[in-house]
């Protein structure tokens, strides 16, 4: 193959990786939503160890296990941030819902407070 053909192949693979990473991100967001509804922590070190072990077991090279683990550490960091954002969104939604319930019940709005 020529360099141009190899580069075209890499471009195709990159598009596939982007698609798969976004699919993984959507799954991580759903996990974050479930964690929020069940009060589970975002950071689960035992689960991360399992992911790293699975990745190393599936690795047939040429990437060394350590380098692949480093790549996955970064992927997991990003996915964890997505889950935190999901949790924050869930908390904000609950807070807004509670504020609206309080306003409907005649409680003072957070902006106005209890001025005397």
pLDDT of 112 reads 46
- pLDDT interval class at 68 (50, 70, 90): very high
d(Cα 111, Cα 99) in Å, to the nearest integer?
Answer: 11
Q: Give mean pLDDT, residues 58-80.
A: 97
Percent of the chain surpassing pLDDT 90: 58
- Determine contact, residues 87/35, Cβ cutoff 8 Å: yes
Q: Which residue has the higher pLDDT, 69 or 108?
A: 69
- pLDDT interval class at 103 (50, 70, 90): low
Q: Which residue has the higher pLDDT, 93 or 47?
A: 47
Considering only CA atoms, which of 80, 92, 1 is closest in space to residue 43?
A: 80
What contacts 84, CB < 8 A, 6 or more positions away?
Answer: 32, 42
Residue 110 has pLDDT above 90, yes or no: no
Q: Which domains does the chain have, with CATH numbers?
A: 17-91 (1.20.59.10)
pLDDT of 115 reads 44
Counted residue by residue, the chain has a size of 116
- Determine contact, residues 36/90, Cβ cutoff 8 Å: yes
Q: What are phi and psi of 115, to 5 degrees?
A: -85, 135
pLDDT of 35 reads 86
pLDDT of 36 reads 83
> The pTM is what?
0.71
């Amino acid at each position: 193959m020529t360099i141009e053909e190899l580069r075209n192949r890499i471009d195709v693979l990159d598009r596939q990786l982007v698609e798969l990473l976004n699919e993984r991100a959507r799954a991580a967001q759903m996990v974050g939503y479930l964690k929020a509804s069940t009060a589970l922590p975002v950071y689960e070190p035992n689960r991360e160890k399992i992911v790293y072990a699975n990745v190393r077991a599936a690795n047939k090279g040429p990437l060394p296990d350590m380098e692949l683990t480093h790549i996955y550490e970064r992927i997991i960091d990003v996915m964890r941030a997505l889950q935190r954002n999901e949790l924050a969104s869930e908390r904000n939604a609950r807070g807004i819902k509670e504020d609206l319930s309080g306003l409907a019940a005649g409680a003072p709005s957070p902006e106005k407070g209890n001025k005397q």
